[in-house]
A = this chain, B = another copy of it.
């Protein structure tokens, strides 16, 4: 086995998820740990983006990753190779994580020596949008092959995110993806969102994304 453990997380028993999420954020603030909740469809490149993100930031901050999956370990293996601290969370069939489940994951990961914790949420544009995980910021990835109409179809997800990464821009010539239309749809739902086009594979745009993260982490630790 590589350097990570697998945690079977339990359904939360809290009645008020929003309250639990706020409490978790207060704890993270005290510990000076910034938590990012990363969401997307299956296959839009969350893990590849994480690898590029870790490579860009690992010399500046101590990074910890929680890989949430229904029941596989593939992503945790990939992230363990980067040298970042990683834990695999199994949701036991559940399609999202709430604050109580995220807290279990953070306890499993151990946040004392982590500056920047990332939750790679279950690949799903519906359910994860409905639950505040306690993260400081919400990020989502939309990849070019998925199409620019996705904000129209999954509006809640695009509404609750602070930043949208438009990934796989290297394959733009082979798809009918209209970045301007995408931007227009997204901004109508969420005027304050930051949109960063990237290619996790070629590295394009990763510097801008890393800068955005640096600013957020610094802001959180003020």
Partner-B contacts on A (CB < 8 A): 41-44, 69-72, 74-75, 93, 95, 122-127, 130, 143-147, 149-150, 152-156, 168, 171, 174-175
Contact A153 B95 (CB under 8 A): no
Known interface pairs A130-B93, A145-B43; A70-B155 also in contact (CB < 8 Å): yes
Q: Tell me which residues across on chain B come within 8 A of A147, comparing CB atoms.
A: 43
Q: Tell me which residues across on chain B come within 8 A of A156, comparing CB atoms.
A: 70, 93
Among B70, B125, B152, B168, which residue has its beta carbon within 8 angstroms of that of A124? B125
Q: Given A41-B42, A42-B125, A123-B125, list of 15 further CB < 8 A pairs?
A: A42-B146, A42-B150, A42-B153, A43-B143, A43-B147, A71-B155, A93-B130, A93-B156, A95-B95, A95-B124, A95-B127, A124-B124, A127-B127, A145-B168, A171-B174
Q: Tell me which residues across on chain B come within 8 A of A146, comparing CB atoms.
A: 41-44, 145
Most chain-B Cβ atoms within 10 A of its Cβ — which of A43, A95, A146, A147?
A43
Q: Which 5 A-B pairs have the closest CB atoms?
A: A43-B146, A145-B145, A95-B126, A41-B42, A41-B41
Q: Tell me which residues across on chain B come within 8 A of A126, comparing CB atoms.
A: 70, 93, 95, 122-124, 127
Q: Compute how far the CA of A41 lies from the CA of B142 in the bound complex, rounded to whole angstroms.
A: 12
23 A-B pairs, CB-CB below 8 angstroms?
A41-B43, A42-B125, A42-B153, A43-B146, A43-B147, A43-B150, A70-B155, A70-B156, A71-B155, A72-B152, A72-B153, A72-B155, A74-B152, A74-B153, A93-B126, A95-B126, A95-B127, A123-B153, A124-B125, A124-B127, A127-B127, A145-B146, A174-B174
* Shortest Cβ distance from residue A188 to the other chain B in the assembled complex, whole angstroms: 13
* Shortest Cβ distance from residue A45 to the other chain B in the assembled complex, whole angstroms: 9
* Shortest Cβ distance from residue A182 to the other chain B in the assembled complex, whole angstroms: 12
| Minimal Cβ-Cβ distance residue in B for A122 | B126
* Shortest Cβ distance from residue A78 to the other chain B in the assembled complex, whole angstroms: 10
Q: Compute how far the CA of A95 lies from the CA of B131 in the bound complex, rounded to whole angstroms.
A: 14
Q: Compute how far the CA of A43 lies from the CA of B71 in the bound complex, rounded to whole angstroms.
A: 23
* Shortest Cβ distance from residue A67 to the other chain B in the assembled complex, whole angstroms: 10
Q: Tell me which residues across on chain B come within 8 A of A145, comparing CB atoms.
A: 43, 143-146, 168, 171
